[in-house]
Amino acid sequence: MPTSTQAPINDRQRIKAILASSSGNLVEWYDFYAYSFCALYFAPAFFPDGDQTTQLLSTAGVFAIGFMMRPIGSWIFGRMADRKGRKASMVISVLIMCGGSLLIGILPTYDTLGVWAPVLLTLARMLQGVSVGGEYGTSATYMSEIAVAKHRGFLASFQYVTLIGGQLLALLVLLVLQGMLSDEELRAWGWRVPFLIGAVAALVVLYLRRGLHETATTSPHGNNKDAGTLRALMKHRNAFLTVLGLTAGGSLAFYTFTTYMQKYLVNTAGMATDMASRVMTAALIVFMLMQPAFGALSDRIGRRNNMLAFGALATLCTVPLLTTLGSVTNPVTAFLLIVTAMGIISFYTAISGLVKAELFPMEVRALGVGLSYAIGNALFGGTAEAAALWFKSIGLESSFYYYVTVMTSIAFMTALVMPHKKKAGGYGIAEDLRH
């Protein structure tokens, strides 16, 4: 089982390992987000009844089911990573994502299969949910362990660089297709292309991840039989609850201003679909570039202060930002408002995985990070679109703004009571992360 004994590596090997793990993270999230961005085109093909809001609500429900599978994936792959090593877990998770994307890309529609079409779509999303559930905790753990202490916030921020990069890549592929194909062609078959691209890209990442440096080695002399088990994890209940509190507000805010925002601009503000895609593409590029800066900031001021800044600003600014965006007509104004929101969220996203990894010891780190995050993300992040669309469908859309505000205030209070240990690597860095 994994022990804290790590073979020393040089800076070149460390950078190569971060890039290899990041590439897998990018493809995993590209595949997952391709569903959300293409939903505007394939929703009628799988859910033919109802108006646009009803169809989008149906696809958002399937999107949420994918999130509900994340705790299962985080338990399976977190246990594997803590007992057998990080590398094996990351290789298998990306292989499962490849299968889920391929299934969506070739899936017949409702006209061909009837009710089995949405059933199989849901199954594919469940596979992707299991895969991403395993990916987040293990990659966050791996990147926190492979990074040097004094730059750990900066280097660990590349997890969200690639996570946002996955979103951005999915959106860019959609923009290219919008430029090459007519609206009718996109609705007929063009929406399949992003999923097929994702399946091929996952195979490339599978090859790259075969050469990853292992940060948790397997030792025949290890005597911790509880490594990677729920029993061992429950010895760290406070850390588990801390991650839940931070994730509840952080994930809800993140998905509100990223995956849902494209639909919000179209369905509420009345912006044209292609213009909304362009606005979100530009905003996501800026958001991605923000991450290393906010990660480096945490190396100077501490992780806890980053989290406090996120919670306070998000609580104060969510309602005015969403209210203004709901009636925006100028795409430049929309872009500036969204980037403002993303700047606030960057206090959280840049160090999200690292903060969580620093709270757990090595023998339950991947499971602890993955499972607590997956539960919080499934309950709040994965349901963001469905909750927003439901509030809109009953004529209480503004109530969603206050829901997000309440959850970000919980994240603030969680950060407020979070232990503060100022060390070389930032808040609460585990002593067993040696390089």
Residue 431 has pLDDT above 60, yes or no: no
Residues comprising the chain, all counted: 435
Report the alpha-carbon distance of residue 76 to residue 137 in Å, rounded.
Answer: 11
Average pLDDT over every residue of 296-316: 94
Measured in whole angstroms, the distance separating CA 47 from the mean position of its chain's CA atoms is: 26
The secondary structure element, H or E, covering residue 309 is helix 303-325
pLDDT value for 432: 40
Query: What's the start-to-end Cα distance of the chain, in Å?
Result: 20
Tokens matching residue 10 = 């040089």
Whether the pLDDT of residue 222 is over 70: the answer is: no
* 3-state SS assignment for residue 429: coil
What is the per-residue DSSP string for 49-64?
A: SS-HHHHHHHHHHHHH
Partnered with residue 427 across adjacent β-strands are: 422
Name the average pLDDT for the chain: 83
Is the pLDDT at 92 greater than 70? The verdict is: yes
Instruction: Please indicate whether residue 226 or residue 115 has the higher confidence score (pLDDT).
Output: 115
Q: H or E segment at 423?
A: strand 422-423
Residue that is written with structure tokens 């690292």 in the block: 354
Q: 11-212+228-420 falls under which CATH superfamily?
A: MFS general substrate transporter like domains (1.20.1250.20)
Q: Retrieve residue 3's tokens.
A: 């022990």
Helices (H) and strands (E) in the chain, counts: 20, 2
Is the predicted pLDDT of residue 330 greater than 90, yes or no?
yes
Which pLDDT value is given to residue 148?
66
- Whole-number pLDDT of residue 3: 47
Distance separating alpha carbons of residues 250 and 248, to the nearest angstrom = 6
Phi, psi of 242 (to 5 degrees): -60, -45
Q: What is the DSSP letter of 380?
A: I
Q: What pLDDT score was predicted for residue 23?
A: 77
| Residue 230 in this model has a pLDDT that exceeds 50 | yes
Could you tell me the pLDDT band of residue 427, with boundaries at 50, 70 and 90?
Answer: very low
pLDDT at 8: 59
What DSSP string describes 168-181? Answer: HHHHHHHHHHHHHS
Global pTM reads 0.78
Pick the residue with more confidence: 354 or 84?
Answer: 354
- Please report the pLDDT score of residue 401 as a whole number: 96
* Ranges assigned E (strand) in 51-172: none
Helix (H) or strand (E) holding 426: strand 426-427
CA distances 143 to 54, 138, 216, 358, 374, Å, are 40, 9, 12, 11, 18
Stretch (H or E) spanning 148: none
Q: Mean pLDDT lowest for which of 67-71, 286-290, 372-376, 393-397? A: 67-71
